[in-house]
Structures are given as C-alpha cells and as structure tokens.
Amino acid sequence: MKPPAFQYLRPNTVSEALDMLAAAGEDAKILAGGQSLVPMLNFRLLKPSALIDINRIGELDFISESETGLRIGALTRHRVTQTSPLIAKHFPVLTAAMDHVAHLAIRNRGTIGGSLSHADPAAELPLLMTLLDAKIRLASRNGSRELSPAEFFQGSLMTALEEGEILTEVELPYLPANTRWGFEEFAQRSGDFAIVAAAVTATLSGEKCDACRIAVIGGEMPIRVPEAEDALAGIVPTAEHIKTAATIASEAAEWNEDLHASRDFRKQLVQTLVARALTAALSPSRPVH
C-alpha cells in the first residue's frame, strides 16, 4: 500500500508543464487532485516514471463567463464547482449533480480536469459534460484542440487524451432561456459513485417542449439518447410520453453488470431515473435555470 518510486516535478505554468510532459516521455503522469491517481499508485496499479504536479498552476484554476459560455479551468476543485454562484446561475443541474460527487475531503482536492481525464464510467462530471455539450479543450506542445464529449470519452477509463496532452479547460455553452432541468442518481451510500444516474434539460415555450436533452451513466461511458430526446421534442409531454422516452433510454446501451447491480437492475434504474428527471424538469414548480 505504498506508492512506487517516481520523479516529482512541479511546474508553475502550463507551458512548463507541457515541456516537462514532453521531456518525461510516455510513462509520465499528470498529478491533479490525486484522488483517483494516488489510490492507484498506492495499490501499485501504475508505475509512472514521473509525476507532474499541476496543483500550483494558477492559470488552470478559474471559472469565468465568456460570450458563448461558462469556462471552467481544469484545476477547479469539486468543492468550488459545487458552491460556485456562476455555475448555480447558469447550470443549476451541475450544482445539483456535484452534491453527489464523493465526500467533503475528496471534494476539497478532486478537480474537474482529473475527473474527466480519469473517465470513470460511474462519475458524475463526465455525465454532466455530455448533457451540457461541453467543449473540452486540450493543449500540447504542438498546439491545442477542442473535442466534444462524444469524441473525448472513448470507453471506461479511456479518453482521447494523447501523449503529451493536458486538459486545460471546458466551456459550457449557455442554455437557451426557459430551460429546466432534472438530475437523479442511485448510489449505494451518500457520496458513492453512481450505479445509474440521469441528467436532463428541457427547453420549453409555454407547456410545449421545444427541445430536450437526456444523458445517462450506467454503461461503459456517458451517453446521450437522441431517440428519446426526439420523442419529446415539439409536443406538450404527458406522463405517457415521458414513460416512452424513459423506455427508449433504458434500451439505449449495454448497461454494466458487477457485484453492485445486475444489468437488468441497471436497465430498470435507467427507466425509473430518466422518468423522474424528466418529470422534475417538466414540472411547472421547477424554477427556470
């Protein structure tokens, strides 16, 4: 239960970090909050040659409004995301989801960049990025690029990050006016990873649903369910429509099976949680975002 030996490097800027990452070669790892990486090191599941500690790179730690969306720096701690007034104003669904991410001391350290790069299939932040059409920005010594969640998340613990690349920030495009939301999670205990979670938004004119988004975790990676979204677009959804959309969602992926829950149980959970999240989003008592 002790980490293997490694070289420890502590850059102060992104460009220093990228140089160190390039020089250290493929076995080097970025160390952000350490809340997923250090357990793996303590179990000796990984033996990186070098750890590049980005905790002192101030330029990665910010939340700011741009013209097109809200930008969140990779080093933003979960606690800051959970309590940010800017996030609560623009994306209350993200604030609600953060209450389910781990525990106080873990949230004090864990970062959004770390959670997305780690890509645990049961983690809430990848789900929310998928729901909110995040622009995920990566940088390397060769320049920078921007990926959609569908391009970035490639499977359980697998992402499009290439050797020498760092996730620097995400930008969440603002939601249209009159957008409501719902978030539902089933986990074994408070703060545990989700067995299944569903996050939705619905943009309304009057009672009509102009467009909605439905995102789910419970399989290999977070997914959107366009067929279920289409089933609600352009109509005044009734309980029957919601049930249909939830059924479509429950059939949209090969859900995981492990000692916590069987595939069939997860499928039923998807159906129930999507229905609840949609019902909450479409309820007139839910304030507009």
Partner 1 sequence: MLLSDFLRETLRMTGTHVGCEHGVCGACTIIADGHSIRSCLMFAVQADGLSLQTVEGLGKVSDLHPLQESFREHHALQCGFCTPGMLMTGVDFLDKHPNATDEEIREGLSGNICRCTGYEHIVAAVRSAAARKRETIR
Smaller CB separation from ligand FAD, 139 or 242: 139
- Strands of the sheet with 69-73, listed across from one edge: 63-65, 69-73, 166-173, 135-140, 143-147
Q: Closest Cα to residue 201, out of 92, 61, 88?
A: 92
Does residue 124 interact with ligand FAD by CB under 6 A?
Answer: yes
Q: How far is Cα 267 from Cα 247, in angstroms, rounded to an integer?
A: 9
Smallest separation, CB 225 to partner 1 (Å)? 30
Q: For ligand FAD, what does the binding mask look like between residues 8 and 47, x meaning CB under 6 A?
A: ---------------------xxxxxxxxx-x--------
Does residue 222 interact with ligand FAD by CB under 6 A?
Answer: no
Binding site for partner 1 (CB under 8 A): 1-3, 8, 34-35, 38-39, 42-43, 53, 55, 79, 99, 102-106, 108-109, 189-191
Q: How far is Cα 253 from Cα 218, in angstroms, rounded to an integer?
A: 9
Q: How far is Cα 207 from Cα 202, in angstroms, rounded to an integer?
A: 11
Residues paired with 136 in a beta bridge = 147, 170
Smallest separation, CB 107 to partner 1 (Å)? 9
Smallest separation, CB 194 to partner 1 (Å)? 15
- Among ligand FAD, partner 1, none, the one that 53 touches (CB under a kind-dependent 5 to 8 A) is partner 1
- Among partner 1, ligand FAD, none, the one that 79 touches (CB under a kind-dependent 5 to 8 A) is partner 1
- Among ligand FAD, partner 1, none, the one that 190 touches (CB under a kind-dependent 5 to 8 A) is partner 1
User: DSSP state, 205?
Assistant: E
Does residue 161 interact with ligand FAD by CB under 6 A?
Answer: yes
Q: How many CA atoms lie less than 13 Å away from 221 in the CB half-sphere?
A: 20
Residue type for position 10:
R
- Among ligand FAD, partner 1, none, the one that 95 touches (CB under a kind-dependent 5 to 8 A) is none
Smaller CB separation from partner 1, 114 or 149: 114
Residues paired with 170 in a beta bridge = 72, 136
At residue 212, what are phi and psi to the nearest 5 degrees?
-140, 160
Does residue 71 interact with ligand FAD by CB under 6 A?
Answer: no
Q: How far is Cα 280 from Cα 152, in angstroms, rounded to an integer?
A: 29
Three-class SS state of 171: strand
Smaller CB separation from ligand FAD, 79 or 241: 79
- Among partner 1, ligand FAD, none, the one that 124 touches (CB under a kind-dependent 5 to 8 A) is ligand FAD
Smallest separation, CB 176 to partner 1 (Å)? 33
Quick count: other Cβ atoms within 10 Å of Cβ 123? 22
* Segment contacting ligand FAD by CB under 6 A, of 106-114, 208-216, 235-243, 267-275: 106-114
Smallest separation, CB 100 to ligand FAD (Å)? 6
- Among ligand FAD, partner 1, none, the one that 91 touches (CB under a kind-dependent 5 to 8 A) is none
* The two structure tokens encoding residue 184: 């539902």
The three-point CA angle 147-202-85 to 5° equals 70
**If you write DSSP's letter for every residue of 145-160 in order, what string do you get?**
EEE-HHHHEEETTEES
For residue 110, the Cα-to-chain-centroid distance in whole angstroms is: 13
Q: For ligand FAD, what does the binding mask look like between residues 185 and 214, x meaning CB under 6 A?
A: ------xxx---------------------
